Structure 1
């Protein structure tokens, strides 16, 4: 939580600044001066207080051991950040032997934060400042479920438009909320399904303990417990197998991996 406090201070210092410095990375995605400053703020504390731990950050790569590794996305939703849209999040995870055990997702522009640790539950802040425990919904029928698919382009690029259409036709409601926000809505019991493609470890590591400690389930599109398959499916748990079966129904493309 102290890491998130430091990150929030760094990111909010330049949010919606008229002279924000923005660069294009080799992969054609944007990086702002705030992305860099936020990751540096987190790394500075870790270097001082957890020097034996490794760090895997979006902007400065991997350093140190992978046994205990902090996985950081300083600003998840950089496109929103640089446009002055407050829907962006700092993601901080602690992974032990490849399994995310601690996760914090902080949205300082909206005053929201979610956190979890293995065996300790998932939590969020409330208006009066007290923590509230999170729990996924009890919806047990796909036709009564709400789903977030992130973006049509993602599904199209991996040849999964047929699966997306099946999903949209099967659920009660579908929306593309985008980035971290829908995962947190799922953990709060407001959605039953979130999936996306093209994700890196730092995009999802912090989300895993929050979803699972709230009672949900988190896998890759293929149904595996992996951070490295570049896809994610999160559900309220009760419907996970049913959603995977729907996505992989006969005739579905097998190109998403």
Structure 2
């Protein structure tokens, strides 16, 4: 999957329609996932890689796929639970429940991630966090947005912080950095910034787009973990690359920043 390096606008009405449809997909997903959230009899099993999967993960992805089959039958799909169907220039990328470990424990910090990639580049993204009543969305040329308590949409913009010493960052988890052989880089990062926390999953990327964080970094990501974030962060004025700075996720790593600090963070993280 390629990463956009500039905010080029494809056919605006088409992208606007796709974004509206993605928001309807999120509505359908939220109805299914919330119906089983914190249920005492939730069915939980294990995948071959030993990660958890719940009945809600499967049902939520099915709901999204059913609506896609009905209204976008020519489009391809890449979903975490049911793999890839179709081979077209337009592909919907779905993580039905990002944060399954939180979901099955009754912790409300989980999301449904929905993206549309055109020619391999994510152009539409929706991140829905229904257990706390939050949603973020964006599309190339149409800005990045979130909902407010009053029901109005608010446009997103990354922060203007331009000094690492004043930055607030999320590193996801120490275990990720250890497994990636990057603990020394994490120590440099946390020693150089104003504040560091491991918020986890989709939420810190949205905090970045809201201007509340200056960096989010993680390892061992798949396309469905990150595709929905790309248009939102890009349209909010941020930058997202692989950990080595390349505009690709081929290394299965992510470095997302407010843009102005991207190169300084890269220098800091790769100092050894």
1:135 and 2:157 matched: yes
Moved more, 96-105 or 63-72: 63-72
**How far apart are residue 184 of structure 1 and its match?**
0.5
1:171 and 2:199 matched: no
Q: Distance in 2 between matches of 1:227 and 1:29?
A: 22
- Secondary structure of 2:206 counterpart: helix
What root-mean-square deviation, in Å, do the aligned CA atoms of Structure 1 and Structure 2 show? Answer: 0.6
* Residue in 2 that maps onto 1:255: none
* Residue in 1 that maps onto 2:117: 95
Q: Distance in 1 between matches of 2:247 and 2:115?
A: 16
1:196 and 2:215 matched: no
1:44 and 2:66 matched: yes
Q: Distance in 1 between matches of 2:234 and 2:267?
A: 20
**How far apart are residue 224 of structure 1 and its match?**
1.4
Aligned residues: 250
- The Cα offsets for residues 150-209 of structure 1, whole Å up to 9 and x where unpaired, read as 000000001100000000001000000000010000000000000000110000000011
**Which of 206, 213, 225 is the equivalent residue of 1:184?**
206
Q: Distance in 2 between matches of 1:71 and 1:243?
A: 29
Higher relative CO (CA 8 A, sep ≥ 6), structure 1 or 2?
A: 2
- Secondary structure of 1:38 counterpart: helix
With normalisation by structure 2, the TM-score equals 0.91
1:80 and 2:102 matched: yes
* Residue in 1 that maps onto 2:137: 115
**Which of 214, 222, 239 is the equivalent residue of 2:261?**
239
Gaps of 5+ in 1: 252-257
- Secondary structure of 1:13 counterpart: helix
1:226 and 2:248 matched: yes
**Which of 220, 231, 238 is the equivalent residue of 1:216?**
238
**How far apart are residue 225 of structure 1 and its match?**
1.6
**How far apart are residue 72 of structure 1 and its match?**
0.2
- Secondary structure of 2:45 counterpart: strand
**After the TM superposition, which segments of 4 or more aligned residues of structure 1 sit over 6 Å from their partners?**
none
CA distance change for structure 1 residues 150 and 66 in 2, over 3 Å: closer, same or farther?
A: farther
Q: Distance in 1 between matches of 2:264 and 2:233?
A: 18
**Which of 70, 78, 85 is the equivalent residue of 2:92?**
70
Q: Distance in 2 between matches of 1:151 and 1:224?
A: 22
**How far apart are residue 227 of structure 1 and its match?**
3.2
* Residue in 1 that maps onto 2:180: 158
Q: Distance in 2 between matches of 1:86 and 1:241?
A: 34
Q: Distance in 2 between matches of 1:6 and 1:56?
A: 18
Q: Distance in 2 between matches of 1:228 and 1:79?
A: 25
Gaps of 5+ in 2: 1-22
Q: Distance in 1 between matches of 2:118 and 2:206?
A: 23
With normalisation by structure 1, the TM-score equals 0.96
* Residue in 1 that maps onto 2:52: 30
Q: Distance in 2 between matches of 1:246 and 1:179?
A: 23
**How far apart are residue 66 of structure 1 and its match?**
3.9
1:20 and 2:39 matched: no
